[in-house]
Amino acid sequence: MTTQNLLVELFVEELPPKALNKLGAAFSGVLAEQLKAQGLAAADAAVTAFASPRRLAAHVTGVLAQGADKAVQQKLMPVAVGLDAAGNAAPALLKKLQALGADVSDPAAAVTALKRQPDGKAEALFYDSVVKGASLQAGLQKALDEALAKLPIPKVMQYQLETDCELPGWSSVNFVRPAHSLIALHGSTVVPVKALGLTAGNSTQGHRFEAKVSPVVLAHADQYADTLKNDGSVIASFAERRAEIVRQLQAAADKVGGGCQPIEDDALLDEVTALVERPNVLTCQFETEFLDVPQECLILTMKANQKYFPLIDASGKLTNRFLVVSNITPDDASLVIGGNERVVRPRLADAKFFFDQDRKKTLESRVEGLSKVVYHNKLGTQGERMARVCAIAKAIGQQVGGDLLAKQAEQAALLAKTDLLTDMVGEFPELQGIMGGYYARHDGLSSDVAEAIEDHYKPRFAGDELPRNKVGLVVALADKLETLVGMFGIGNLPTGDKDPFALRRHALGVIRMLIEKDVALGLPELLALSAPVFGDKITGDADALIDFIYDRLSGSLREQGFSAQEVDAVMALRPARLGQVSQFLSAVRAFAALPESPALAAANKRIGNILKKAGEVDAHVNPALLQEDAEKGLHAVMQRLLPESEAQFKAGDYTASLQTLAALRAPVDAFFDDVMVNAEEMDLRLNRQGLLKSLHVAMNRVADLSRLAA
């Protein structure tokens, strides 16, 4: 059967830019998936997605005009129901066959054509038929309807469309944007499918201002991208358009010189790619006086409000040049450049005004204002919250750094949220913390405190950097612990994908800081420091929070490449000091690679089961009660190896501590082969259980080795 490549395009008004790439991938993906499911395209058919500001399109290779017929076997009913005692067809069977299109004019012949096959404990009747393959028009119509129905549309709008019939009128259409034309080409043949009140043809529109012809007519499905580029001045491929913007941005930066680079921002790049049909990068500038404003403010206003790409010099400092991705390519670009420079100037002037006004008041003078800002109806105001963060930060600082760190952490925590009351953060909430750092330096505070105010939100997302100094680390820990303890204390837990207070992110932030900064405090100790500052405001179960944090840690470790067995073995002991976890995992991995590991893990599991059934067991051994050679031999080896392993553990050499225990394999195997642990004599039984208890404690200092057993 011959095949042709298929092209489907939906031409619409400008699509939501932040959703465009996802819409394009979903449209082409579902369309191709449905064609493959109906046998109109091969499973390995190549699918190319196109998405520009005003179009969604898909190109699928090797599409059949008519799908192949399929042999289908359908179960009808049990033999006992479909046939009477004489083997004649029951009315229910004939009715079923008739519904399937079978010839029932001769009931006996119809029954003879059926198959009887076992179905569980009874026999059933099965009907074999051939289902005609889908035609391309019918199959594509179904695929197109499904693709449109499954589009991840951010928000649907309703618009009116003039009806295509003899009587004039209007019909309502619901879609993300008004649709104007539909293309469906199988090779060079139009497939007359319909969607959103439109009938497919072979023409579309090009660039709104620079198309060479209108409409743009397609001769063949394979000429879509080239025809649009040449006749319509549109780069239809999102990926190709994005790559062209990247190329032009770099070329423009190189032309400016001085090691300048456009700021890296994938989200901005995607959004701008979704705003232009044929990009043209232009270089603009603003007055150097605005560079006195913190560069974060200028960068944010240029990116967020204007979709510009600021230029950064070789030292990472903002320059007064920026790049604009225009959707037009005029012979004289001066008017476009001048217009963009005029537009950005008031934005930068606003930022300078906010910065100048904010510095007229100190951060300390704003502290009282936090008591007027509601944080949570059950947990009080931002002022009350910061009093709690201060208390937690002071307690942590005292534990890890003494009086000086405690004092600095308390001061930074007191001022950390005051920039929420500034004009700059009111206009640009994304700058909270960053502006606090600038204003703290202006107020004459130490660099440690200023950096702590700036960094106390970190890490804000996966892969974000951690606070730069100890003061910032303490305040960031205190801030996140206050949120976690408070929200869990009032029962405000994450559910499913809903986590309005970002508690999962806060938990991962605490985990990262404790591990990567190797904080010399245990997690239970930190939570115990945090809970009392709430007084009677919280009543929640503290165990739920610690379970939550350890669960997040387990998931994070698996994502980092540790096996489920390794993670379970270490996390089963709930290590208090998270800074030791990576060392524990490395030790477990090295131990698991030893040839003695499987046998010792299995023995450890067996010992655990014995001790669990025995109840409370004292880890004490009376050598005088050791009778069997195997138990004497095990005890002797333990006397030699356990002190060595314990010394290595205390010295932090966890790998060596576990590997030292590998020599126990033979005596442990001999013990279980030759010794009855639960002897009838009580003193012998307790002594042997005590021997196993001593061994169990030594083997499970680093991890629960029984979790490594197959």
Quick one: DSSP state of residue 499? Answer: -
Q: What is the DSSP string of 329-388?
A: --S-THHHHHHHHHHHHHHHHHHHHHHHHHTTS-SGGGGGGGGGSEEETTTEEHHHHHHH
Tell whether the model's pLDDT for residue 661 goes beyond 60.
yes
Record the tokens describing residue 703, joined without a space: 């991890």
- Rounded Cα distance, 135 and 142, in Å: 11
Q: Where are the domains of the chain?
A: 3-67+135-232, 71-131, 238-358, 364-561, 581-708
| 199 beta partners | 194
The length of the chain is 710
- Encoded amino acid at 184, one letter: A
**pLDDT-above-70 percentage for the chain:** 99
Residue 17: DSSP 8-state:
G
**Higher-confidence position of 65 and 50:** 50
Phi and psi at residue 422, to the nearest 5°: -90, 160
In this prediction, residue 517 carries a pLDDT of: 94
Q: Is 498 exposed, middle or buried (0-12, 13-18, 19+ CB in 10 A)?
A: exposed
Residue pair 108/3 in contact by the 8 Å Cβ criterion: no
Rounding to the nearest 10 degrees, give the CA dihedral for residues 354, 295, 409, 413.
30
Decide if pLDDT at 167 tops 80: no
What separation in angstroms does the CA of 423 have from each of 176, 350, 433?
A: 36, 10, 13
| Residue 143 confidence class, pLDDT cut points 50, 70, 90 | very high
Identify the CATH number of the domain defined by range 3-67+135-232.
Answer: 3.30.70
Q: What is the pTM of this model?
A: 0.80
- Judge whether residue 308 has pLDDT over 80: yes
Q: How many CA atoms lie within 13 A of 316 on its CB side?
A: 2
Kindly indicate the confidence band of residue 168, based on its pLDDT and cuts at 50, 70 and 90: low
**Per-residue pLDDT, 539:** 85
Place of tokens 């629960």: 704
State pLDDT tens for residues 78-120.
887 888 877 888 888 888 888 877 877 887 777 787 888 888 7
Both tokens of 323, joined, read 């790049």
- Give the C-alpha separation, 191 to 9, whole Å: 12
- In this structure, which amino acid lies at residue 651? A
Token pair recorded at residue 83: 């046939």
Mean pLDDT for all residues in the chain:
92
Amino acid 80: pLDDT: 78
Architecture category of domain 581-708 in CATH: Orthogonal Bundle (1.10)
Q: Is the dihedral of CA 335, 336, 337, 343 positive or negative?
A: positive
pLDDT value for 166:
55
| Percentage above 90 pLDDT, the chain | 71
User: What are the tens digits of pLDDT across the range 519-558?
Assistant: 999 999 999 999 999 998 988 777 899 999 999 999 999 9
Q: 57 and 162 in contact (C-beta within 8 Å)?
A: no
- Give the architecture (CATH level 2) of 364-561: Orthogonal Bundle (1.10)
Say how far apart CA 577 and CA 480 lie, in whole Å. 17
**Cα–Cα dist 362/385, whole Å:** 20
What are the structure tokens assigned to 240, written together? 């190709």
Of the candidates 529, 531, 520, 653, the residue with the CA atom closest to the CA atom of residue 583 = 653
The Cα 703–Cα 585 span in angstroms is 8
Instruction: Reply yes or no on whether the pLDDT at 389 is more than 90.
Output: yes
Q: Are 51 and 23 in contact (CB under 8 A)?
A: yes
Residue 23 Cα distances to 154, 248, 267, 483, angstroms: 10, 25, 16, 36
Q: How confident is the model at residue 4 (pLDDT cuts 50, 70, 90)?
A: very high
Q: How far apart are CA 31 and CA 38, in angstroms?
A: 11
Identify the bridge partners of residue 48 per DSSP, sorted by sequence position: 59
Q: What proportions of the chain, in percent to the nearest 5, are helix, strand and coil?
A: 55, 15, 30
DSSP symbols for 196-216:
TTEE-BSEE---TTT-SSSSE
pLDDT at res. 1: 61
Sign of CA dihedral 528, 533, 535, 540: negative
CA triple 307-310-312, angle to 5 deg: 160
Q: What is the pLDDT of residues 145-158, one digit of tens each?
A: 999 999 998 888 88
Q: At what angle do helices 629-650 and 682-699 cross, to 10 degrees?
A: 30
How do residues 600-657 score in pLDDT, each as one tens digit? 888 888 888 888 888 888 888 898 888 889 989 999 999 999 999 999 999 999 999 9
Contacts of 242 (CB under 8 A, 6+ apart): 269, 270, 273
What tens digit of pLDDT does each residue of 412-457 get?
Answer: 999 999 999 999 999 999 999 999 999 999 999 999 999 999 999 9
Given the structure tokens 């497939």, which residue do they identify?
A: 191
